[in-house]
Amino acid sequence: ATKNMADYTNDTSFPEMKNDLLLRAARGQEVERVPVWVMRQAGRYLPEFRALRAENEFFKVCQTPELACEITLQPINRYPELDGSIIFSDILVIPQALGMKVEMIPGKGPSFPSPLVNPDDIGKLQYPVDISSTLDYVLKAITLTRQRLEGRVPLLGFCGAPWTLMAYMIDGGGSSTFSKSKAWLYRHPESSFKLLDIITEVCINFL
């Protein structure tokens, strides 16, 4: 019988790992060659990626396990020589889990319509965060992808550093200077530490 997504995400008995080269290298063990994986491995250089993204908004892909899984597997299916797979997601799922709206603007990048302006805005964050609920789509995408990788290569996950996330949350998007978030550190040191602690705890629980 053909498995659907529910079958995969409910099954946490994963296929045996056939290529653990990257894992052995990460542990500092001796390896027969240097393992290979690529930054932005699932990205615009792949025509199948561009085709899928043309029909689906960025965060829709992140929040739809089937789509996130499909994009994650694209480079592995095309280039079986790769030694690792990276789950398709984004560091800004953490601010989203905290209740902040994040949009991906074509040609501009991530944008926060309502960034944090002053320390009182910390109270608007939805905290504490129930990771199993707010970020369940990432967890489902990881489980689904591990199943469909069939042990070909390890699956890597990631998370943004707390300061990086704080900078986006205050500056409202990418910046060459991040002047607003840096100003927070000097003007509101206690609130800056409080915000960093909140973000850090969410990141730890997520990982």
- H helices of 45-135, where? 47-55, 58-62, 65-78, 93-97, 131-134
- Candidate list 24, 53, 127, 136, residue with the active-site label: 53
Please, are residues 199 and 100 in contact by the beta-carbon 8 Å criterion? no
- Candidate list 7, 40, 79, 197, residue with the active-site label: 40
Task: Report the alpha-carbon distance of residue 5 to residue 206 in Å, rounded.
Answer: 22
The residues with which 64 forms a beta bridge, in sequence order, are none
- Candidate list 8, 83, 146, 168, residue with the active-site label: 168
- Candidate list 27, 33, 44, 186, residue with the active-site label: 44
- Candidate list 20, 83, 90, 171, residue with the active-site label: 90
In the annotation, is 40 catalytic? yes
In the annotation, is 44 catalytic? yes
In the annotation, is 168 catalytic? yes
**Tokens encoding 32:** 């027969």
Q: How far apart are the first and last CA of the chain?
A: 33
Please, are residues 51 and 70 in contact by the beta-carbon 8 Å criterion? no
- What's the one-letter identity of residue 53? R
Q: Which long-range contacts (CB under 8 A, 24 or more apart) does 78-83 make?
A: 78/46, 78/48, 80/152, 81/36, 82/36, 82/37, 82/38, 82/41, 82/153, 83/19, 83/21, 83/22, 83/35, 83/36, 83/37, 83/153, 83/154
Please, are residues 167 and 178 in contact by the beta-carbon 8 Å criterion? yes
In the annotation, is 7 catalytic? no
| Active centre residues (catalytic) | 40, 44, 53, 90, 168
